[in-house]
Structure 1
Amino acid sequence: MTARLEITQAPYREDPLGHFAALRHRPGAVLLDSGRPAAPGGRYDILSCDPVSVLTVDEQGVTWVDGKRWEYETPFAAQQALLDALELECPASELPFLGGLIGYWGYDLGRSLEPVGESSTQLVALPVSRTGLYDWALVQDHQLRESWVVATRDRREQVMAWLQQPRARTAGFELLSPFAGELDRAGYARRFTAVQDYIRAGDCYQINLAQRFSAPYRGDLWTAYLRLRQATPTPFAGFMGWSADSGEQGILSLSPERFLQCRTDGHIETRPIKGTRPRGTIPAEDLRLASELTSSLKDRAENVMIVDLLRNDLGRVCRPGSVRVPQLCGLESYANVHHLVSVVSGKLAQGKRPLDLLAAAFPGGSITGAPKVRAMQIIDELEPSRRSVYCGSLGFVDVRGNMDTSIAIRTAVADGKRIHLWGGGGLVADSDVEAEYAETLDKIRHLLAALTSEKHEQE
């Protein structure tokens, strides 16, 4: 039976934290966070909980819906089937999400699409993908400074009651020991040399090599997310937490990078980031670092390589001749770093849907290298453990055909008793090992510091 959605105005907040504090202990609570008011660029916050169903993909690529095995050719096909099962009568609206899938697609979901290899070990005990099917949402529009509850009449009464409940007191969060890297400097250098050998042999042009940092913790992951958000507000952030046999699992993402956006008219946009410099401590230093980035031939070459890769990926599902590059290597500045950001756009071909686009381009080329499949094989060979959610995507797919997803960089993953962070960067023929090793740390240094307990800051 088709359910009729209604759109009801709700109190507007400059950030979504107060609204989400009332929902975060509900089953399947999710927050897609634009980082306002501190982060530029983001327009919408999307919050929900109590999904109709939850689809997970395990490390063998098997799909499960509410504990029952689903047999589909790919996890993306299973997700499309679940989305098609949500029968909603949607009012005319410019809001991006009126119901559908919200969740994450882990980097290792790429193994269901391409022959990647089996060298690395799965050490982070999260599903490869977890997407909930939601029939309601609270959507905040920061451009219009308005908030709306999108729900059936019965569900709306539930939601309004949840939002009016007293906020649960935020518990503490602390690391039980400092973060430890999976690779030391020498281990990174050996892998750097292996990448250079592959490049010289003609296997690849670029490889994104990352390393994982882990620490035991106790306390509330929401508190940890608030610390991270304060340290580095970004326009494609998100928080998801749920209970599992191993304890609480969660995703705490502070991504600055859009992966794929698809609108109901079929317009597609992706915004790859390649090229990074830290922000300066004084204006003159900040300007120097930004100028150094924009004039760097190496960083521009990396960016252009990924743009070419994404043009190819989008071309698999776009109308012939529709793929364009309206911005190449533009400078964008965030709280802690400068980035070079390009924009690639296109028009979805007739008969193709947003999840076809996601499958065609997954995982994002900006965090693999080029050519993509060979790069993924080399990453599997050289990185000791699998990436889990890191370098996958967070986002939503709406029942009307809207989709927006991030690249899950600057992302912490918690799996019950340990919390993990990754730092990585693209390696090309003229990369310098010391500079690249430092970049893996620079990109997440502020996240490591934000999660470090006062006890360990004093040690």
Structure 2
Amino acid sequence: MLNLNEFLAYGEEGYNLVPVWKNIKKTQISPISIYEALANKSYSYLFELSEKHEDKYRATYSIVGLPCHQRIEIKDYSIKVFDENNTPTYITDIPPLDALRQILASYRVPKIDQLPNYAGGLFGYFGFETTRLIEPKLQANTRKKTLIDLPDILQIVSQELIVVDHRNDLIYVIVHAKPTESQNFADANLRINQIISELEKIPYQQQANFSPSTTTDRTTWFKDMESHFPQLDFQMAVNKIKEYIKAGDAMQVVLSQSMSRPLKANAIQLYQALTSMTNTPYCYLMNVEDSHVVGASPEMMVSLHQNKLISHPMAGTRHRGMNQQEDDALKAELLADNKEIAEHIMLVDLARNDIGRVAKTGSVTVNNLLSVEYFSHVMHIVSEVSGEKMDGIDEIDVISSTFPAGTLSGAPKIRALEIIHELEPYGRGVYGGCLGYITWNGDINLAITIRTGLLHQGQLYVQAGAGIIDASRAEREWQETIEKNSMMMHAAYQAEQFSL
């Protein structure tokens, strides 16, 4: 814990914002219960991180961002910065990502070793249309309409948060304050005590029991799904991509489709259902006024910690077996599939190139090439690409270099993005971008927004893609997008049944 003298000393050292905190012992109250009781309003979030232990991901940190109107919204080339009173200021004289860089630099916050790595900073998403702000060749394209009218980039300035440290059985309650006078320190501690008091009032609830549904039930429910890229049009687009590939324009293009249907359940119920049936490194729920982003992503786009860059390209999939013997057989089949291996190696090379643009020369390495990771329903081929950040490179440079992931675009990346813009009927919005945090000190941890739903005014939108290559069969690629959406739709079905 920080004392008053330490707090004021940070101000004398030039810092303009300081985290004040208290620890309490972790209880049996679940992070989603904490979120529901204390944070379930606009511009709040729950972000749960897990690390692999043997063949299973185990929770490390659950971060509850309390509601905060301070945020940055970027849409096309329009930049709005909202203050704590929800009043916007418009920035028009510099490019959007440079504006974001300047805003980050304006917060001078000390790194305190007693706190978790993420103890405040920016939290939010970079939607797929961020590509137009990064790649000059794409700026000539008119921004495509998205199905839901949200900012292309939304970043919450997170200054009040609760961090559950599962490894050390602690809960950190963190409130930031300006180190200019002692009253600010007193106010921060008063707010912390209020939050702790509210935490102690949360009743213990057993985890919701989502009973298995029958295939017949799910099939009937799925029939009400509306595709926003009809099957015939999608298959024609697949064939068009194959023509581009034969002409030498691209090696692979990831083509996606969005589907939607009404959902008689809320975002918290959807999150509970989704997280009860999957085991992934990232789970998240973000409240954006009348929309909620809910997801369980298996794939990191990029992380940066202590100058180490990491990316986890993931491509190549099989369903899980019924037992260990079946799992072993399916794993062997996957690793013997030349098409899957060739696609994965291509995407590893793309990740090496992306990381290499912001890493020190000679530092980029590929670790655990072609390893197989097991998730609740599927197994994937995963590799790790890492490097040491180059001097003079900041977090916005890292995001710009690695965005979007090659597994969501294709190769060569820029030409694949041009083809996606030409053929997909709508902008992708949140899907296919990334979501996560940027710390005050420039560390980042960003998940690719796949296996993610957008709940908007009682309608659930899901999206998935298929990597199109020369050997692709159009009908099979359509079916792959259906299969990739099945986990989210299964969770939606379960949430709806639970809410009745």
Scaled by the length of structure 2, the TM-score of the pair is 0.82
Q: 2:25 aligns with which of 11, 14, 35?
A: 11
Q: Spell out, residue by residue over 1:334-355, the C-alpha distance to the aligned partner (whole angstroms, 9 max, x if none).
A: 0011101111101111111122
Change (3 A) 1:167 1:351: farther
Q: CA deviation at 1:223?
A: 1.4
Structure 2 distance, partners of 1:145, 1:225, is 23
Change (3 A) 1:176 1:82: farther
Change (3 A) 1:147 1:394: same
* 1:310 counterpart SS class: helix
Are the equivalent residues in 2 in contact too, given 1:176–1:216 (CA < 8 A)? Answer: no
Does residue 160 (structure 1) correspond to residue 196 (structure 2)? The answer is yes
Are the equivalent residues in 2 in contact too, given 1:211–1:422 (CA < 8 A)? Answer: yes
Does residue 250 (structure 1) correspond to residue 292 (structure 2)? The answer is yes
Partner of 2:182: none
Q: CA deviation at 1:446?
A: 2.2
Structure 1 distance, partners of 2:234, 2:478, is 7
Structure 1 distance, partners of 2:27, 2:234, is 44
Partner of 1:198: 244
Change (3 A) 1:240 1:455: closer
Q: 1:45 aligns with which of 62, 77, 100?
A: 62
Are the equivalent residues in 2 in contact too, given 1:21–1:168 (CA < 8 A)? Answer: no
Partner of 1:316: 357
Structure 2 distance, partners of 1:76, 1:158, is 37
Partner of 1:295: 336
- Per mean C-alpha deviation after superposition, the further-off stretch among 270-279 and 24-33 is 24-33
What number of residue pairs does the alignment pair up? Answer: 448
Letter in 2 for 1:6: V
Are the equivalent residues in 2 in contact too, given 1:22–1:165 (CA < 8 A)? Answer: no
* 1:290 counterpart SS class: helix
* 1:381 counterpart SS class: helix
Does residue 212 (structure 1) correspond to residue 295 (structure 2)? The answer is no
* 1:357 counterpart SS class: helix
Q: CA deviation at 1:188?
A: 2.4
Q: CA deviation at 1:166?
A: 4.3
Q: CA deviation at 1:144?
A: 3.1
Are the equivalent residues in 2 in contact too, given 1:177–1:456 (CA < 8 A)? Answer: no
Partner of 1:347: 388
Scaled by the length of structure 1, the TM-score of the pair is 0.89
Q: 1:393 aligns with which of 434, 453, 462?
A: 434
Change (3 A) 1:434 1:456: farther
Are the equivalent residues in 2 in contact too, given 1:269–1:345 (CA < 8 A)? Answer: yes
Structure 1 distance, partners of 2:396, 2:124, is 13
Larger Rg: 2
Partner of 1:131: 155
Q: Which runs of 5+ in 1 are unaligned?
A: none
Change (3 A) 1:88 1:234: same
Q: CA deviation at 1:455?
A: 8.3
Change (3 A) 1:454 1:5: closer
Q: 1:113 aligns with which of 114, 118, 134?
A: 134
Letter in 1 for 2:432: C
Letter in 2 for 1:329: L
CA RMSD of aligned residues (A): 2.8
* 2:38 counterpart SS class: coil
Structure 2 distance, partners of 1:61, 1:261, is 26
* 2:263 counterpart SS class: strand
Partner of 2:38: 23
Q: CA deviation at 1:138?
A: 2.0
Letter in 2 for 1:440: T
Letter in 1 for 2:162: L
Partner of 2:3: none
1:216-365 alignment runs, 5 A limit: 216-243=262-289, 248-263=290-305, 265-365=306-406
Are the equivalent residues in 2 in contact too, given 1:278–1:442 (CA < 8 A)? Answer: no
Partner of 1:426: 467
Structure 2 distance, partners of 1:419, 1:300, is 34
Q: Spell out, residue by residue over 1:363-418, the C-alpha distance to the aligned partner (whole angstroms, 9 max, x if none).
A: 11111000111101111111111111001111000012221000000010123342
* 1:335 counterpart SS class: coil
Q: CA deviation at 1:287?
A: 2.8
Structure 1 distance, partners of 2:112, 2:43, is 25
Structure 2 distance, partners of 1:454, 1:47, is 22
Q: CA deviation at 1:181?
A: 1.7
Structure 1 distance, partners of 2:118, 2:100, is 17
Are the equivalent residues in 1 in contact too, given 2:50–2:60 (CA < 8 A)? Answer: no
Are the equivalent residues in 1 in contact too, given 2:286–2:292 (CA < 8 A)? Answer: yes
Change (3 A) 1:161 1:46: same
Structure 2 distance, partners of 1:304, 1:17, is 38
Change (3 A) 1:209 1:341: same
Partner of 1:182: 228
Q: Spell out, residue by residue over 1:217-260, the C-alpha distance to the aligned partner (whole angstroms, 9 max, x if none).
A: 354222122122223232111110132xxxx1110011010111
Identity of aligned residues (%): 27
> Would you tell me which structure has more helix in proportion to its own residues?
2
Partner of 1:142: 166
- Per mean C-alpha deviation after superposition, the further-off stretch among 94-103 and 344-353 is 94-103
Partner of 1:62: 78
Partner of 1:81: 102
- Per mean C-alpha deviation after superposition, the further-off stretch among 36-45 and 397-406 is 36-45
Structure 2 distance, partners of 1:250, 1:74, is 28
Structure 2 distance, partners of 1:379, 1:42, is 35
Structure 1 distance, partners of 2:453, 2:401, is 26
Are the equivalent residues in 2 in contact too, given 1:35–1:234 (CA < 8 A)? Answer: yes
* 2:57 counterpart SS class: coil
Are the equivalent residues in 1 in contact too, given 2:263–2:496 (CA < 8 A)? Answer: no
Structure 2 distance, partners of 1:122, 1:412, is 14
* 1:253 counterpart SS class: strand
Letter in 2 for 1:143: R
Structure 2 distance, partners of 1:29, 1:91, is 24
Q: CA deviation at 1:322?
A: 1.1
Q: Spell out, residue by residue over 1:288-342, the C-alpha distance to the aligned partner (whole angstroms, 9 max, x if none).
A: 2222212211111111111111211122211111111112221001001110111
- Per mean C-alpha deviation after superposition, the further-off stretch among 271-280 and 85-94 is 85-94
Structure 2 distance, partners of 1:137, 1:456, is 32
Partner of 1:96: 117
